[in-house]
Amino acid sequence: MSPKSKKVLLLLVTAVVLIGLYILIQLNMNALGYVLPARVRKVAVIILVGAAIGVSSLIFQTLTENHLLTPSVIGLDAVYLFLQTVIIFIFGAVSSLLMNTYINFFLSVALMVLFTLGLFKLVFRKNTSVYFILLFGLVMGTCFQSLSSFMHMVMNPDDFLMLQDRLFASFNTVNEKLLILCAVLIGLLLILVYRRSHELDVLSLGKIHAVNLGLDVDKLTRSMLLIVAILVSISTALVGPITFLGIIVCNITYQFIRTYEHKLLIVCTILISVITLLIGQMMTQYIFDGTTEITIMINFVGGLYFIYLLFKEGAHD
């Protein structure tokens, strides 16, 4: 067995052990029929969300040729919160757009995909600086957060309480009706990405080299951007925004596996995402007794790590 295969196996064993620990720790045998299915369902959501965020961030970094960028970092989380705020502000908390699980889900995904694709066109304009993209994302995120905050101030208190559940990522409030649908969509997209991973290997050499090797870079970029937009939209609509997860897991993957072969990178990214989310969820549930949300912990650690990466990249210039 090669060293890289051993590393993948190590990650797989770690993920399986953590899943077992999460399911079995403090398991109430008197309420086994309720607690066990609930924990298994949370594990399924963690796997789906981890896979979607990790792979979408990996693809995005390959397309942009930069390890500092992820779809969430350039402001997409703020867009999701703004859309949810607008829906509740205009139609109210009892509107069918909000109360109907499928309508709200598909509306959120559709709007996020349209906005994401429009934003990504800016990213792939010629001569667009990475730092300009980061600055634009910061300004855009601040703008949408300000608009959302304004609507929060004038919103009906009952509607605001309903909105609060959507402001933070949580694996405790996932609607199980969406679980199978999301699993099918994410599974199909991951299979498609895995089958085209060799094209991403070529693209990672650089766009000029990829073109010289016969790769249709524009076609690949458009198709991969659509996949990224759908994955980000599904994961955000499913549990809410987790801004810095992609930054953490992708850069840890690069350091851990040290390869440009995307078949291995995809698998390792998914496993590291699942491990990270499981550790965060276990700390939230068993150490902090549910007094905090997993998104706060991940964004705190990820924000510090992002600042470290910015200084590290600047030191190499």
Q: Is residue 316 part of a domain?
A: no
Per-residue pLDDT reduced to its tens digit, 274-314: 999 999 888 888 887 767 778 778 888 888 888 888 787 65
So what's the pLDDT on residue 131? 67
The yes-or-no verdict on residue 188 having pLDDT over 90 is yes
CATH code: domain of residue 253: 1.10.3470.10
Measured between alpha carbons, how far is 76 from 266 in angstroms, rounded to an integer?
A: 22
Q: Answer for the pair 67, 59: CB distance below 8 angstroms, yes or no.
A: no
% residues pLDDT > 70 (the chain): 86
Q: Check pLDDT > 90 for residue 173.
A: no
> What is the number of structural domains in the chain?
1
In the predicted structure, residue 101 carries a pLDDT above the cut 80: no
What is the length of the chain? 317
According to the model, what pLDDT value does residue 237 have? 76
Compute the mean pLDDT over every residue in the chain, rounded to the nearest whole number.
81
pLDDT top residue among 194 and 164? 194
For 88, counting Cβ atoms within 10 Å of its Cβ (0-12 exposed, 13-18 middle, 19+ buried), the class is buried
Written as one string, the DSSP assignment of 98-116 is HHSHHHHHHHHHHHHHHHH
Asked whether residue 82 is domain-assigned, the answer is yes
Asked, for residue 286, whether it belongs to a domain, the answer is yes
How many other β-carbons are positioned within 10 Å of the β-carbon of residue 167? Answer: 18
Judged by average pLDDT, the poorest of 23-27, 121-125, 127-131, 205-209 is: 127-131
Domain that holds residue 107: 3-24+38-310
- Distance of alpha carbon 182 from alpha carbon 179, whole angstroms: 5
Mean pLDDT is lowest, of 120-134, 239-253, 260-274, for 120-134
3-state helix, strand and coil shares in percent for the chain, rounded to the nearest 5: 80, 0, 20
Residue 219 included in any domain: yes
Residue 184 lies in a domain: yes
pLDDT at 16: 94
Asked if the model's pLDDT at residue 231 lies above 70, the reply is yes
pLDDT level of residue 214 (50, 70, 90 thresholds): confident
Q: Say yes or no to pLDDT of 12 above 90.
A: yes
Asked if residue 315 is part of any domain, the answer here is no
Query: Does pLDDT of 128 surpass 70?
Result: no
In a domain, 230, yes or no: yes
Question: Which residue would you say has higher pLDDT here, 46 or 74?
Answer: 46
Q: Do residues 67 and 250 lie in contact, with contact meaning Cβ atoms separated by under 8 Å?
A: yes
Residue 311's pLDDT is what? 80
**The dihedral sign for the CA sequence 211, 213, 217, 219:** positive
Average pLDDT over residues 167-184: 73
Q: Is 163 a member of any domain?
A: yes
User: For 50-72, what is each residue's pLDDT tens digit?
Assistant: 999 999 999 988 988 888 888 87
Identify which of 96-100, 167-171, 233-237 has the greatest average pLDDT: 233-237
